[in-house]
Amino acid sequence: MTRHRPPLPVSPAEASGAGGAAAYGRVKPSGVDTTHGAILYLEEVTVSFDGFKALNRLSLDIGVGELRCIIGPNGAGKTTMMDVITGKTRPTSGTVFFGQSIDLTGLDESQIAHAGIGRKFQRPTVFEHHTVFENLELAMKADKRVRATLRSRLGGEQIDRIGQTLELVRLTREAGREAGLLSHGQKQWLEIGMLLMQEPLLLLLDEPVAGMTDAETERTGELLDELRGRHSLVVVEHDMEFVTRIADGGRVTVLHEGSVLAEGSMAAVQADPKVIEVYLGR
């Protein structure tokens, strides 16, 4: 897809909500220009570490509401790609745009999160000594100080939002339970719920089913199906059976040595001779 870039990109100050751009320091969904159907563009992105190219002229785009699976062998550049998108790593060259006009390479990690990009790492990070409900409450509030947040009163609309999220991630019955007592899979769902409380437009999920039971893996697939279309999703995953399950005819991108090796349906990439040689090992 060819991206048509407007002449005036959004500045970091605008993206972080300065000057009344959005309440709570977030860009409103209308502030992300997706008129050409894509929410994320990486163009010719290279990341070099002491001469080693973790990403090598990587180009790809993610459609609005799309669920894109990213696969590839260890060292293919999957984590570095997510680090670049979220501002953890600066590209050596290339451009990364959120919609048509927000240049992510000019923003820090906090500003990118506020702009509407959420990232879930492989290992869940939750407040283990607080209840599931309180975890979602903390994720929703602009004031991230635990005591101040939990002492403030919730409005009816906020309670409804938490309730809807609990239902979505199937943790309604666990709402009053300490997060540290949840199973591994439930902690993963809780962290996804915490990201959803921040109303992201784009969710990056790193190996969301690693370490899960078969039943938890199945439920996670159902959850991602429900999120598909409501949010744009990028899922990095090694479980090929799970990828086949959630790809559902959509595009799968195969990375190798920091570049796109192949892209298409899961069936197409599995049949690609280049993928078979370097990734599937046949």
pLDDT score recorded for residue 150:
59
Taking only the tens place, the pLDDT of each residue in 76-103 is 999 999 999 999 999 999 999 999 989 9
Is 113 found in the same domain as 29?
yes
Q: Is residue 30 part of a domain?
A: yes
pLDDT band at residue 142 under the 50/70/90 scheme: low
Taking only the tens place, the pLDDT of each residue in 146-163 is 555 555 678 888 899 999
Is 216 found in the same domain as 147?
no
> How wide is the angle at C-alpha 242 spanned by C-alphas 240 and 246, nearest 5°?
115
Residue bearing tokens 């990070």: 125
The CATH number of whichever domain residue 199 belongs to comes to 3.40.50.300
Is 263 found in the same domain as 225?
yes
Is 131 found in the same domain as 115?
no
Is 69 found in the same domain as 209?
yes
Q: Is residue 3 part of a domain?
A: no
Across the beta sheet with 52-63, the strand order is 52-63, 38-49, 93-98, 102-103
Q: Which domain holds residue 175?
A: 127-181
Is 137 found in the same domain as 193?
no
The number of domains in the chain is 2
pLDDT score recorded for residue 242:
96
Is 226 found in the same domain as 106?
yes
Is 59 found in the same domain as 31?
yes
The total number of residues written for the chain in this structure = 282
Q: Is residue 2 part of a domain?
A: no
pTM value is 0.84
Q: Is residue 226 part of a domain?
A: yes
Q: Is residue 257 part of a domain?
A: yes
- Burial label for 142, CB within 10 Å (0-12, 13-18, 19+), is exposed
Q: Is residue 5 part of a domain?
A: no
Spatial distance between the Cα atoms of 220 and 237, rounded to a whole number of angstroms:
13
SS3 126: coil
Is 98 found in the same domain as 222?
yes
Is 144 found in the same domain as 49?
no
280 has a pLDDT exceeding 70: no
First to last CA, the chain: 32
Is 52 found in the same domain as 159?
no
Taking only the tens place, the pLDDT of each residue in 46-68 is 999 988 999 999 999 999 999 99
Q: Is residue 149 part of a domain?
A: yes
Is 170 found in the same domain as 93?
no
Return phi, psi of residue 64, to 5°. -65, 125
The alpha-helical segments, DSSP class H, found in the chain are 12-15, 78-85, 109-115, 132-140, 146-151, 156-168, 184-197, 214-227, 240-247, 266-271, 273-275
What is the average pLDDT value for the chain, to the nearest integer?
Answer: 86
207 has a pLDDT exceeding 90: yes
